[in-house]
Amino acid sequence: MSLGAVVGVAVVIAAALIGAISLWRSDRRKSKEENRRKGIEIYRETRTSWDQALIMEVTEAVRREKLQEVRSGLVTIKLFVGADVQTKEFDDLLALLEGDPLAAGGVNLATARVIWPTVEAQIHSALSP
């Protein structure tokens, strides 16, 4: 094989590698952006459930249901966003919402209300472009 042929093959291999890496990076960016969009959508639903759970006129059964929706939404956000929301506060909020947040005289809900603004700020930060 001549030197020209070897150089030609090397150029083709290099071009193929560059193309593959470029495609891989593009797919990663698209995937990350799609996860961000889904995370934003889930956050909106979660925020609505949180607001509905805190309405004074809502029944206890509805409040429990809405708080379970909040927990489910937070878990889903964690799956989409990943490490950006894996914080102590986020995990504490999930733990408070795990069982019955209205048990023990509402202490879990009161604590969750204190933690919520910090977790919400972390979610905003993680979902911002």
pLDDT at 22 exceeding the cut of 90: no
Render pLDDT for 44-69 as a digit per residue (tens, 0 to 9).
999 999 999 999 888 989 999 999 99
Note whether 42 and 80 are within 8 A (CB). yes
Q: What mean pLDDT comes out for the span 109-113?
A: 91
What is the pTM for the complete model shown?
0.75
Which residues, at least 6 apart from 14, have a Cβ–Cβ distance to it below 8 Å?
Answer: none
Domain ranges for the chain, please list them.
34-127
Q: Give CA torsion, residues 54, 112, 94, 34, to 10 deg.
A: 60
pLDDT tens digit string along 68-101?
Answer: 999 999 999 998 888 777 889 999 999 999 888 8
CA dihedral over 79, 69, 51, 37, signed as positive or negative: positive
Q: How many CA within 13 A on the CB side of residue 109?
A: 19
Mean model confidence pLDDT for the chain: 86
* pLDDT band for position 6 (cuts 50, 70, 90): confident
